[in-house]
């Protein structure tokens, strides 16, 4: 896997603090409520949404509605996933040795 980093510039709706009040936005398998929110905000001119990751505790995500807001995209690192046919057992970073 390649990890990319990018700079975001815009006015994003921040819903990171509403998980307890709006759990449907964060449902891990049913996306209809979150998609409806995104559609409504985008139609209203929003640049995007900043939210807590559903699957990575402590992780944060951004849904960017306008690609022009993403700048300076660059490759950051390579990750390798070790899979046993059922589960990912390990993730390690590949690096050059000098």
- Asked if residue 12 belongs to a domain, the reply is yes
State residue 97's pLDDT score: 83
Q: Does the residue 28 lie in any domain?
A: yes
Confidence of residue 75 (pLDDT cuts 50, 70, 90): very high
38 assigned to some structural domain:
yes
% pLDDT > 70, the chain:
100
Q: Does any domain span residue 95?
A: no
- Is residue 14 assigned to a domain? yes
Q: Is the CB of residue 3 less than 8 Å from the CB of residue 77?
A: yes
In this structure, is residue 80 part of a structural domain? Answer: no
- Asked if residue 82 belongs to a domain, the reply is no
Number of domains making up the chain: 1
Residue 89 has pLDDT above 80, yes or no: yes
- The answer as to whether 57 is a domain residue is yes
- Quote the domain boundaries for residue 58: 2-73
pLDDT at 93 over 80: yes
The answer to whether residue 16 scores a pLDDT higher than 90 is yes
């Amino acid at each position: 896997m390649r990890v990319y980093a990018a700079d975001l510039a815009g006015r994003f709706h921040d819903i990171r603090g509403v998980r307890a009040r709006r759990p449907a936005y964060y449902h891990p398998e049913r996306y209809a409520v979150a998609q409806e929110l995104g559609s409504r905000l985008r139609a209203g001119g929003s640049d995007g949404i900043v939210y807590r990751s559903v699957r990575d505790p402590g992780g944060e995500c951004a849904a960017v509605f306008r690609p022009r807001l993403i700048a300076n995209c660059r490759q950051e690192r390579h990750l390798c996933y070790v899979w046993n046919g059922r589960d990912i057992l390990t993730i390690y970073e590949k690096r050059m040795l000098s």
